[in-house]
Amino acid sequence: MTTLSERISQSAFDGSRLRVVLLLDLHDGAQKEFLEAYEHLRNQVASVPGHISDQLCQSIENPSQWLITSEWESAPPFLAWVNSEEHVETVQPLHSCVRDTRSLRFSVLRETGKAHVSSPEELKGRLQASPRLGDGVVRHALTFTVKPGSEKKVAKILSGYTSPAARVDENTRLRRTSLFMHGNRVVRAIEVQGDLLAALRHVARQPEVREVEEAINPYLEQDRDLHDPNSARMFFTRAALPAVHHVAADGPYSAELKRHALYYPAKEGCGMALARLLAKQDAAAADSPDSPIASSTIFQRDDIVVRLIDVNGRLDDRPALALAVSGPRKAATLARLLEGGADGVLGNEKEMSRFLADSDMQLITDRSAPPES
């Protein structure tokens, strides 16, 4: 009998195989160029650790529509590849061929047949253990840095924009946008009911949003030209900070939950391991009836790790739980994964409180869409 998780959750760290589906609509006359670019891409990805196979398919109804599917041992190696600078450069030739694209990622829950599997035990171990319960919300974030010394100007600009209309189409709606800063790093987290890509395109087209984006352009460390589609695409590709884990604990919780974003400066090459540790701790804490954390979303790209939490009460009432470390061993493990090493970082509650205060990002704006009538 299939069991269903009773808790709203998502995770890239359950160890199950990953199926990636990329839907593409080509420009007229771009087929030859596209196939040449794909050959280069597939030769590159074939050597990436964790990659199992891929397929290129063409629609039998509309020859301009193509489908690329790939299978991976698990989500982490795929995410490390797709978020790498190497991947950004590798897929660049595809952009001139493609009119529209959409990427979907699925963990494998059930399958028929025994391809790539030597035993039933191996098959079972590589599948998602049980269905997860969703809430219809897609969580995503963007992050970028601004020139040192411009932080106050940027914060003022970002806090003063007019929110775009929440309704995107009959199936998609903006639910919440939370914007934070930590030093010169900006993190914008969004929650979307429905289609994330449709929501991002909707937001990008709004005059009030474009005005704010143009206003902060002079202060960005990475140059961009929003009037050049390729420049804008490359900027937002590099700025993407995907959600790798989300869990919402069972209530009851106060209606006055406070939202915080914690920035964890990962040691070089340790971002994925740090995010995995935090995810495991958050999943365990969600079973605790006295946990102050109502929900947690972990965003990670390379060595940038941000944990967005909704807290019942003061953030510093229970610093260990707020940081997602339970016990000295977990605190020591977390410390070893942080930039600067483990020396005296999280050795006692006082040090945890200090680190928590340093990690707590400055809230610039947090806006929820009003309920629909």
pLDDT at residue 22 above 70?
yes
**Is residue 1, in this structure, part of any structural domain at all?**
no
**Is residue 151, in this structure, part of any structural domain at all?**
yes
**Is residue 125, in this structure, part of any structural domain at all?**
no
Residues with Cβ within 8 Å of residue 59, at least 6 apart in sequence: 65, 66, 67
Type and span of the H or E element at 244 = strand 240-248
Distance CA 151, CA 155 (A): 6
Q: Could you tell me if 84 and 142 lie in one domain?
A: no
Averaged pLDDT for residues 168-189: 94
Q: Could you tell me if 190 and 338 lie in one domain?
A: yes
Q: What percentage of the chain exceeds 70 in pLDDT? A: 91
Contact 211, 247 (CB under 8 A): no
pLDDT at residue 267 above 90?
yes
If DSSP codes are grouped into helix, strand and coil, which group holds residue 273?
helix
C-alpha pair distances (Å), 116 with each of 53, 73, 106, 113, 122:
10, 11, 18, 9, 10
Averaged pLDDT for residues 195-223: 89
Q: Could you tell me if 233 and 345 lie in one domain?
A: yes
Kindly report which listed range (3-12, 133-142, 221-230, 357-366) carries the lowest average pLDDT score. 3-12
Distance CA 141, CA 161 (A): 18
pLDDT at residue 124 above 50?
no
Averaged pLDDT for residues 174-194: 95
Domain with residue 287: its CATH number is 3.30.70.100
Report H helices in 46-174.
75-82, 85-90, 92-95, 120-125, 151-159
Q: pLDDT digit string (tens) for 231-247? A: 888 888 889 999 999 99
Contact 295, 289 (CB under 8 A): no
Q: pLDDT digit string (tens) for 133-171? A: 888 899 999 999 999 999 999 999 999 878 888 899 988
**Is residue 12, in this structure, part of any structural domain at all?**
no
Q: Could you tell me if 65 and 141 lie in one domain?
A: no
Q: What predicted TM-score, i.e. pTM, was given to this entire model?
A: 0.90
Report H helices in the chain.
31-45, 75-82, 85-90, 92-95, 120-125, 151-159, 196-205, 207-216, 229-239, 271-285, 319-323, 328-337, 349-359
Q: What is the token pair recorded at 322?
A: 């707020």
Range(s) of the domain holding residue 181: 135-373
Backbone phi and psi for residue 301, each to the nearest 5 degrees, phi listed first: -150, 120
Q: What is the token pair recorded at 64?
A: 């301009």
pLDDT at residue 371 above 80?
no
> Structural domain tally of the chain?
2
pLDDT band at residue 125, thresholds of 50, 70 and 90? Answer: very low
**Is residue 129, in this structure, part of any structural domain at all?**
no
Averaged pLDDT for residues 63-68: 96
pLDDT at residue 116 above 70?
no
